[in-house]
């Protein structure tokens, strides 16, 4: 049945947006579990404190606020190591959301603690105060410069970030964010110097154990695990696809974790002349296609499939990649991503919508599902030279009767999509949208307006 049309030729919305749409959003049970476990993490410490310390109820509640805030900061530290098992269950954006959400909740409770308790003891006072100031600075800084939440929605915040971006690079921001460790040290000092609290020995030991556990997870995730031989690789090809975009092929070392179509990795090139920074890039080809296209560099099908990356020169680091030599050492973190997991678990037709370089993870998904599903690939580009995977996608369309491929100069409008997508795709399709964050947000809005349920939409925003 054709959906009713509006004057602009687009079908009318078939379901209301707003609260109902938000409830539809994809929230796997693991998402609720991750939040529940994180929120409950302070409970043992609070229990110990409340049973070991005699104080008026009001004061105990305010102490508990401080304990909860501190524990959530520790959980945030552990989450900053991007645990892969959690990423596969809830996705990296949701993991960062949890990291940031706990940070904000912690700041609120810490504020209640600091503003309502009083001490004349200078060390207790200043350790608490400075930790609190650092927490406020850290939260404001992260909201402006590290999370896309404000920047993707507010042009003013985006302009401020762009202006300061020359000095405050992503790497500088990561180092500034590490001031949180100074804050953690100050809180530990704070707890140890309050005589009544330090007398509650069980509680103080438990706080120290929590702190050590979080630091151990962090050191393992950031220093020890990355050095594992199975996380290394070698560049086996680096070719220009056009004047702004390159294809870099990496052969991972034996024992590397196999990636799935649509995944992404954090990649660090270790070669003179290039900064050793970890940047996220999607894996373009599905593993078997990557093996076939790099057959010369991958002698047996038993070795891990090469990673074919499509990298646009977007800034300081990516625009230097023409200098990346074949044979350069690479450190890989990942693979991350949930596209393939979600798609494999259901039997929906696929609509893969890539904007610019956003096509990168979608090519692999198209290859993986071309023969078994109804698939429509839509690629919007600002100039024809950016259709670098035109031959790959056209070939899939020629060989698979239920595969459609369309490309478009500039972003698809609502009317374009209404003409391309039939009622079955709009109502039942699994939509995967990838591109720059503001474009993805706008496209989600357009698709929702066309009646696509929020729970059928997956996206990846190429900023972090
Ligand atoms: C999940 C994901 C998958 C991606 N896949 C691709 C891809 O397949 N091809 C592609 O060309 N680009 C991809 N990107 C974007 C790519 O990571 C950035 O363009 C690149 O890191 C920019 O680095 P730069 O120093 O050249 O640019 P800059 O001008 O320094 O940065 C541009 C923007 O990229 C982001 N960024 C910079 N450095 C990092 C970093 N180390 N980690 C996270 N974000 C950073 C920041 O939001 C920054 O505002 C992807 C991004 C994400 C989040």
Question: How do residues 151-191 score in pLDDT, each as one tens digit?
Answer: 777 888 878 877 877 777 788 888 888 999 999 999 999 99
Q: Do 286 and 432 lie in a common domain?
A: no
**Is residue 274 included in any domain, yes or no?**
yes
What pLDDT score does 78 carry? 97
The ligand 1 atom nearest the CA atom of 309: 8
Q: Is the pLDDT of residue 218 over 80?
A: yes
Q: Do 213 and 238 lie in a common domain?
A: no
Protein residue whose Cα sits closest to atom 9 of ligand 1: 311
Q: Are 84 and 336 in contact (CB under 8 A)?
A: yes
Protein residue whose Cα sits closest to atom 37 of ligand 1: 170
Q: Do 157 and 259 lie in a common domain?
A: no
Across residues 283-312, what is the average pLDDT?
82
The ligand 1 atom nearest the CA atom of 245: 11
Across residues 85-107, what is the average pLDDT?
94
Q: Do 286 and 199 lie in a common domain?
A: no
Protein residue whose Cα sits closest to atom 29 of ligand 1: 315
What's the CA-to-centroid distance between 142 and ligand 1, angstroms?
17
CATH number for the domain spanning 347: value is 3.40.50.80
What's the CA-to-centroid distance between 83 and ligand 1, angstroms?
20
Least confident of 87-91, 115-119, 128-132, 154-158: 154-158
**Is residue 3 included in any domain, yes or no?**
no
What's the CA-to-centroid distance between 461 and ligand 1, angstroms?
10
26: confidence class by pLDDT, cuts 50, 70, 90: low
Q: Do 329 and 362 lie in a common domain?
A: no
Q: Do 297 and 392 lie in a common domain?
A: no
Q: Is the pLDDT of residue 397 over 60?
A: yes
When the pLDDT of each residue in the chain is averaged and rounded to a whole number, the result is 90
Protein residue whose Cα sits closest to atom 10 of ligand 1: 311
256: confidence class by pLDDT, cuts 50, 70, 90: very high
- The predicted-structure confidence for 329-386, as pLDDT tens digits, reads as follows 999 998 999 999 999 999 999 999 999 999 999 999 999 999 999 999 999 999 999 9
Which position has the higher pLDDT, 64 or 301?
Answer: 64
Q: Which two tokens mark 133?
A: 């100031």
**Is residue 4 included in any domain, yes or no?**
no
What's the CA-to-centroid distance between 229 and ligand 1, angstroms?
25
- Last-in-domain residue among 226, 249, 270: 226
CATH number for the domain spanning 261: value is 2.40.30.10
What pLDDT score does 4 carry? 39
Distance of CA 64 to the CA centre of its chain: 31
What's the CA-to-centroid distance between 157 and ligand 1, angstroms?
18
What's the CA-to-centroid distance between 33 and ligand 1, angstroms?
30
What pLDDT score does 12 carry? 45
- The predicted-structure confidence for 28-67, as pLDDT tens digits, reads as follows 899 999 999 999 999 999 999 999 999 999 999 999 999 9
Least confident of 12-21, 85-94, 250-259, 310-319: 12-21
What's the CA-to-centroid distance between 212 and ligand 1, angstroms?
32
Looking at the chain, the whole-number percentage of residues with pLDDT higher than 70 is: 92
What pLDDT score does 391 carry? 96
What's the CA-to-centroid distance between 259 and ligand 1, angstroms?
20
Q: Is the pLDDT of residue 199 over 70?
A: yes
What pLDDT score does 151 carry? 79
Q: Do 332 and 352 lie in a common domain?
A: no
Protein residue whose Cα sits closest to atom 46 of ligand 1: 463
CA-CA distance, 98 to 93, in Å (whole number)?
9
Q: Do 278 and 376 lie in a common domain?
A: no
From 318, 319, 338, 339, the mutation candidate for ligand 1 (largest count of ligand atoms within 8 A of CB) is 318
Q: ∠461-380-16 over CA atoms, to 5°?
A: 65
What's the CA-to-centroid distance between 438 and ligand 1, angstroms?
14
Q: Are 284 and 364 in contact (CB under 8 A)?
A: yes
The ligand 1 atom nearest the CA atom of 311: 11
Peptide bond into 445 cis (omega under 30): no
What's the CA-to-centroid distance between 462 and ligand 1, angstroms?
6
Considering its fold, how many domains does the chain have in total? 3
What pLDDT score does 292 carry? 86
Protein residue whose Cα sits closest to atom 28 of ligand 1: 315
**Is residue 292 included in any domain, yes or no?**
yes
- Report the half-sphere exposure of 51 (CA within 13 A, side-chain side): 8
What pLDDT score does 122 carry? 95
Q: Do 327 and 359 lie in a common domain?
A: no
What's the CA-to-centroid distance between 441 and ligand 1, angstroms?
17
**Is residue 35 included in any domain, yes or no?**
no
Which residues make beta-bridge pairs with 311?
246
Which position has the higher pLDDT, 393 or 18?
Answer: 393
State the chain's maximal CA–CA distance in angstroms.
Answer: 78
Q: Do 60 and 208 lie in a common domain?
A: yes
From 315, 331, 386, the mutation candidate for ligand 1 (largest count of ligand atoms within 8 A of CB) is 315
- The beta strands (E) that lie in 227-291 are given as 232-240, 245-252, 264-270, 279-282
H or E, element range at 333: strand 329-336
Across residues 24-31, what is the average pLDDT?
73
Across residues 135-157, what is the average pLDDT?
83
What pLDDT score does 157 carry? 80
Q: Is the pLDDT of residue 17 over 50?
A: no
From 157, 158, 278, 281, the mutation candidate for ligand 1 (largest count of ligand atoms within 8 A of CB) is 281
Q: Are 21 and 454 in contact (CB under 8 A)?
A: yes
Across residues 440-447, what is the average pLDDT?
96
Across residues 252-274, what is the average pLDDT?
95
- Last-in-domain residue among 337, 356, 387: 337
Range of the domain at 275: 229-337
What pLDDT score does 463 carry? 74
What's the CA-to-centroid distance between 48 and ligand 1, angstroms?
44
What's the CA-to-centroid distance between 58 and ligand 1, angstroms?
47
Pocket of ligand 1 (CB under 6 A): 169-170, 264, 277-282, 310-312, 314-318, 357, 360, 460, 462-464
What pLDDT score does 22 carry? 42
Across residues 195-213, what is the average pLDDT?
94
Protein residue whose Cα sits closest to atom 27 of ligand 1: 315
Tokens 């009001």 locate to 58
Q: Do 96 and 197 lie in a common domain?
A: yes
H or E, element range at 161: helix 155-164
Least confident of 280-284, 316-320, 428-432: 316-320
- Last-in-domain residue among 292, 317, 337: 337
From 279, 283, 338, the mutation candidate for ligand 1 (largest count of ligand atoms within 8 A of CB) is 279
The ligand 1 atom nearest the CA atom of 319: 26
Q: Which of 276, 330, 259, 248 is nearest to 84 (CA)?
A: 259
Q: Do 73 and 185 lie in a common domain?
A: yes
Q: DSSP code of 12?
A: P
- Contacts of residue 319, Cβ cutoff 8 Å, sequence gap at least 6: 313
């Amino acid at each position: 049945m054709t959906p009713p049309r509006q004057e602009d030729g687009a079908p009318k919305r078939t379901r209301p947006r707003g609260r109902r749409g938000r409830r539809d959003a994809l929230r796997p049970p693991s998402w609720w579990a991750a939040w529940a476990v994180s929120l409950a993490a302070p409970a043992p410490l609070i229990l110990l404190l409340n049973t070991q310390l005699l104080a008026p109820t009001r004061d105990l509640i305010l102490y508990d606020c401080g304990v909860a805030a501190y524990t959530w900061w520790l959980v945030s530290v552990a989450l900053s190591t991007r645990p892969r098992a959690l990423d596969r269950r809830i996705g990296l954006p949701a993991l960062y959301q949890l990291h940031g959400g706990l940070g904000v909740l912690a700041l609120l409770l810490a504020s209640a603690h600091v503003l309502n308790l009083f001490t004349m003891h200078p060390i207790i006072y200043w350790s608490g105060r400075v930790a609190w100031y650092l927490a406020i600075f850290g939260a404001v800084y992260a909201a402006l410069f590290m999370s896309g939440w404000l920047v993707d929605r507010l042009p003013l915040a985006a302009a401020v970030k762009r202006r300061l971006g020359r000095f405050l690079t992503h790497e500088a921001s990561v180092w500034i964010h590490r001031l949180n460790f100074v804050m953690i040290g100050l809180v530990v000092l704070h707890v140890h110097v309050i005589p009544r609290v330090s007398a509650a020995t069980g509680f103080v030991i438990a706080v120290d154990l929590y702190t050590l556990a979080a630091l151990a997870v962090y050191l393992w995730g950031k220093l020890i695990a990355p050095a594992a031989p199975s996380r290394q690789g070698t560049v086996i090809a680096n070719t220009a696809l056009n004047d702004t975009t390159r294809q870099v092929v990496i052969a991972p070392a034996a024992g590397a974790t196999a990636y799935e179509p649509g995944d992404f990795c954090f990649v660090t090139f270790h070669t003179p002349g290039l900064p050793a920074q970890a940047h996220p890039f999607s894996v373009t080809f599905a593993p078997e296609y990557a093996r076939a296209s790099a057959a010369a560099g991958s002698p047996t099908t038993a070795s891990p499939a090469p990673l074919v990356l499509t990298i646009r020169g977007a800034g300081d680091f990516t625009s230097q990649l023409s200098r990346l030599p074949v044979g350069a050492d690479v450190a890989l973190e990942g693979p991350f991503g949930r596209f393939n997991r979600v798609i494999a678990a259901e039997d929906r037709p696929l609509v893969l919508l890539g904007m610019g370089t956003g096509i990168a993870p979608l090519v692999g998904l198209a290859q993986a599902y071309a023969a078994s599903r109804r698939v429509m690939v839509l690629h919007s580009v600002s100039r024809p030279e950016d259709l670098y995977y035109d031959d790959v996608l056209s070939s899939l369309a020629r060989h698979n009767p239920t595969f459609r491929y369309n490309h478009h100069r500039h972003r698809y409008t609502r009317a374009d999509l209404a003409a391309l997508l039939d009622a079955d795709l709009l109502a039942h399709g699994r939509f995967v949208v990838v591109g720059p964050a503001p474009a993805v947000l706008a496209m989600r809005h357009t698709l929702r307006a066309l009646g696509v349920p929020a729970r059928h939409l997956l996206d990846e925003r190429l900023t972090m």
